[in-house]
Amino acid sequence: MDETLARKKVVRHPKKPKKQPITWSIIKSQNQLIWMSVPLLFYIILFAYVPVWGWTMAFQNYRPGRPFSEQKWVGFDQFKFLLTDDNFLRVLRNTLAMGLINMILGFVTAIVLALLLNEIRKVFWKRTVQTISYLPHFLSWIIVTGIVATSLSINDGIINIVLMKLHLIREPILWLSEGKYFWGIVGASHVWKEVGWNTIIYLAAIASIDPALYEAAEIDGANRYKKMAFVTLPGIKATIVILLIMSVGHVLEAGFEVQYLLGNGLVVDWSETIDIFVLKYGIAQGNYSLATAGGIFKTVVSITLLLLANWTAKRLGEERLL
């Protein structure tokens, strides 16, 4: 452990190691490292680059079981169908909205919970709270949606019972029948399921902050809130930014199971996401080309968003991914 840390420091010292020209002698001296990376490289090529070949499907009228040469090429027809469909804008809006809600709620709650956990002095309580909060992460969505649907039911659903007992509502609300509640329900379910899990990385980041900083702040007369605001938060800022950039790329991954399982005819205008749309009009129709086109669309948007976020971070002088 100590050894590796020490080594890291040594590596950091030369200012710009990348500029070193690649020579045969370097390659030779590092040949073990190069060989070690070959399987990984192979893995990435095989599973991340070779499948991109499948994108050709999006420009065909693909029929399974036929050789490639017999597929019919249709140019951008699939994209045209996708982008001109009446529902597509609505579906895109839902995906973006739920993706953003999930992202923002996820970040805020995870950071707040991490900060609060960090302030707990008794290790037993800290551990207990942490364990309980991250356990739902291990449930699959099908179970979580079952729990959500049952809690929101008007027959003995716990949410309605609590709200009635608190006299906040007069009669039970049929939560899943109102489009305006749907995004919130999805966001809240995500928070419930993932908040504990998401705090882990922040707690790790907090643990790596130099305790000397806290001592110095204390000597300067900082109270707990001030230490939180001026030591802890800046200390994990780099982690937050990196994670934020990474999750911006996933905004279109607003989810499929939750919306598919909780959605119904009454809330379909708010619940349908790109994934559901692609499933209905692509895969369920045997139209794999349309499904691929949907996938390409998502990938392109995601990469654009990722680069944009990265660029913004660079302009703001923050840590960045690329």
Partner 1 sequence: MGGKSKARFKLSLIALLALSFTLSGCGGNNKTNSESKGNTATATAAANSDSSKVEPFDISVFIGQAGQQPTPDNKIYKKIKDELGATFNYEYLAGDLNQKLGVMIAGQDYPDVMTGNTKLTAAGAYIPLEDLIEQHAPNLKAHYADYWNMMKDPNDGHIYILPNYGVYNGKVNSTYYSGPAFWIQKAILKEFGYPKVKTLDEYFDLIAKYKEKYPTIDGSPTIGFEILNNDWRNWGLFNAPQHLIGHPNDGGVVVKDGVAEIFADKDYAKQYYQKLNEANELGLIDKETFVQNYDQYMAKLSSGTVLGMFDQHWNFGAAEDSLKTQKKDERTYVGLPLVFDTNTKDYYRDLPVLNLNNGFGISVNAKDPVKIIKLLDALMAEDWQKTLAWGIQGEDYEVNEKGRFIRTQEQRDNAVDSTWILANKAKTIVDFAPKLEGSYSDGNSTGADSQIEEYQAGLKPYDKEILDAYGFNSYVDFFSEPPANPVYYPAWSIDLVEGSEAKVVNTKLNDLSTKFLPKAILAEPAEFDSAWSEYVAQIGKVNVKAYEDKINEQIKWRIDKWSK
Applying CB under 8 A, which residues contact partner 1?
61, 63-65, 86, 146, 149, 153-155, 174, 176-177, 261, 264-266, 268-269, 279-281, 283-288
Output 120 or 279, the one with its CB closest to partner 1: 279
Would you tell me how many other CB atoms lie within 10 Å of the CB of residue 58? Answer: 23
Output 120 or 261, the one with its CB closest to partner 1: 261
Cα gap 228→131, rounded to integer Å: 23
As measured in angstroms, the least distance from the Cβ of 155 to partner 1 is 7
Cα gap 157→175, rounded to integer Å: 10
Quickly count helices (H) and strands (E) in the chain.
16, 2
Output 111 or 159, the one with its CB closest to partner 1: 159
As measured in angstroms, the least distance from the Cβ of 264 to partner 1 is 5
Output 205 or 290, the one with its CB closest to partner 1: 290
Assess contact for 275 and 82: CB atoms under 8 A.
Answer: no
As measured in angstroms, the least distance from the Cβ of 209 to partner 1 is 45
DSSP letters of 253-298?
---SHHHHHH--GGGHHHH--HHHHHHHHTGGGT-HHHHHHHHHHH
Assess contact for 240 and 316: CB atoms under 8 A.
Answer: no
As measured in angstroms, the least distance from the Cβ of 46 to partner 1 is 16
Q: For residue 121, how many C-alpha atoms fall within 13 Å in the half-sphere facing its CB?
A: 1
Output 60 or 130, the one with its CB closest to partner 1: 60
Scanning the structure block, which residue is given the tokens 């399921």? 193
Considering only CA atoms, which of 101, 289, 292, 60 is closest in space to residue 194? 101
As measured in angstroms, the least distance from the Cβ of 119 to partner 1 is 41
Output 113 or 290, the one with its CB closest to partner 1: 290
As measured in angstroms, the least distance from the Cβ of 285 to partner 1 is 5
